[in-house]
Amino acid sequence: MGALVKLVLVCLFIVVALRRKMNLGIAMLLAAVGLGLMFGMGPVKLVRGIVASVFALDSAELAAALLVVMVLENVMRHAGFLGGMTGALGKIVRDRRAVAALLPLLVGFLPSAGGALFSAPMVGEATQEMSMSAERRSFINYWFRHPMEFVVPVYPGLIIASNLLRLPLPTYVKLTAPFFVIAVVSGAFVGFHGVPRAEWASSDTARPTREDWIALANGLVPILSVVVGAVALSVDITLVLGVVAILTALYAHVPVRKLAAFAKEAIASSIIFLIAGVMAFKGVLELSGALEELPAFFESSGVPVILVAVVMPFLVGFLTGYAPAYAGLALPVVAGLGAPIAGGAAAATAGTFLAQRSIDLAILGVVSGQAGVMLSPAHLCLSLTVAHFGADFGGVCKLVAIPEAILVGAAAVWTMLK
């Protein structure tokens, strides 16, 4: 019981810190110190553990990948590829329902904070001839902005989760891909149920030009190249991102000085602190012995492990509205619950592989954590979308809750049956 109470206190500290606008990385670094002290780690051991975790090879690889993601996104925005792609889509696809879903889905290829605001005017344009409420329009824009987080390796939450679970990206994406499909299908049912087909006006549906197809390709090719290289070909994610960013910059004639400015901007961002905090917390969690105590506690208390795997990531995601938070804080704990007692939870989390049960629980935790993020008032995309369409916040959340319940339910059943 002691270990659980201490971890709950740490979670509460992080939630309060984020509510007070503290940087997540700094909050997790402070939480790591507090966790180590609560579990009796001496100052020397604690400092050594934090330093070793922050400067480990895994941390450097994670930092490099996320920094290059930021550079690639800036290059594509500077070149106008994203705007050109979405503009061309309206001419290529005739059904307004499909366009309304595809626009935020394509914007979801890039992990922009508040990115749903970018696609909101486009969704409004695509749905203007349809009879639907502001809440339904908000749902379509908000929901379809986020399924890519399950499969596209440019999102910090996905990269952090894959790294912490020691799963190669192809393996991780293979496990989460079914939930991408479920998210799209269930979202389409909720968003367009009872909405008849509506086509663009004849002036807007002229045959797509060569320029339209080029604009669509300009937006899709860079991100699809990352997916193919990192997931299909198993090439190192940082290498793939770097090559794609450079080639995209060359193709778009981005000046070297501008590219250097993008790199400096990425390095100066808070992402370095985020990675340091996440890796420090993970390292202290392993060294403290907390993960050794939890499986035994839940086994003796009779609390179903699957319930913990659902509730803990969901609460962290809901309270923070930030995927890296549940990935960095909850997933190592959830994965530890499935570790064989003989090997030790910390050993499974820190080793080069995880027990299959740990992986199953962790994927359930990912789906549940993402559900918490999607329903969180702290999620910027949700607040911006509701404000843009003048929708009722509760009404939008009710719509979002339906496909999220389907996703979490499917993940729970999948975990129990394995």
Q: Which two tokens stand for residue 332?
A: 């190592």
Average pLDDT of the chain to the nearest whole number? 84
CA neighbor of 363 nearest in space, from 184, 148, 161:
161
pLDDT in tens, 379-401: 878 888 888 898 988 899 999 99
* Segment of 43-47, 72-76, 281-285, 352-356 carrying the highest mean pLDDT: 43-47
pLDDT at 302: 76
pLDDT in tens, 88-132: 777 788 788 898 999 889 878 777 655 677 778 778 878 887 889
Mean pLDDT of 226-240: 84
pLDDT at 113: 59
pLDDT at 282: 80
Q: Evaluate if residue 83 carries a pLDDT over 90.
A: no
C-alpha Rg value of the chain to the nearest Å: 22
pLDDT at 353: 45
Q: Evaluate if residue 34 carries a pLDDT over 70.
A: yes
* CA separation for the pair 86, 137 (Å, rounded): 17
Q: Evaluate if residue 290 carries a pLDDT over 80.
A: no
Q: Based on the number of CB atoms within 10 Å of its own CB, is 37 exposed (0-12), middle (13-18) or buried (19 or more)?
A: middle
CA neighbor of 323 nearest in space, from 175, 156, 187:
156
pLDDT band at residue 48 under the 50/70/90 scheme: very high
Residue 355 CA, chain-centre distance (Å), reads 23
Q: What b-and-e string marks burial along 2-29, b requiring 16 or more CB atoms within 10 Å of the CB?
A: ebbebbeebbebbbebbeeeeebbebbb
* CA separation for the pair 371, 118 (Å, rounded): 22
Domain extents for the chain?
Answer: 3-194+206-342+349-417
pLDDT at 351: 44
Residue type, 111: P
Give me the DSSP letters along 286-319: HHHTHHHHHHHHHHHHT--HHHHHHHHHHHHHHH
pLDDT at 295: 60
Q: Evaluate if residue 354 carries a pLDDT over 70.
A: no
pLDDT at 208: 81
pLDDT in tens, 205-225: 567 889 889 988 998 898 889
* CA separation for the pair 162, 2 (Å, rounded): 29
Q: Evaluate if residue 20 carries a pLDDT over 80.
A: yes
Angle between helices 2-19 and 290-301 (to 10 degrees): 110
Q: Evaluate if residue 2 carries a pLDDT over 70.
A: yes
pLDDT at 58: 80
pLDDT band at residue 339 under the 50/70/90 scheme: low
Q: Where are the alpha helices (DSSP H) in 351-392?
A: 356-374, 380-389
Q: Evaluate if residue 77 carries a pLDDT over 90.
A: no
pLDDT at 315: 85
| 310 and 368 Cβ atoms separated by less than 8 Å | yes
Q: Evaluate if residue 347 carries a pLDDT over 50.
A: no
Q: Specify the 3-state DSSP secondary structure of 330.
A: coil
Q: Evaluate if residue 288 carries a pLDDT over 90.
A: no
* CA separation for the pair 36, 391 (Å, rounded): 45
* CA separation for the pair 173, 153 (Å, rounded): 8
C-alpha triplet 165, 167, 172: angle, nearest 5°: 105
CA neighbor of 313 nearest in space, from 169, 385, 412:
412
| 354 and 335 Cβ atoms separated by less than 8 Å | yes
pLDDT at 340: 45
| 336 and 345 Cβ atoms separated by less than 8 Å | yes
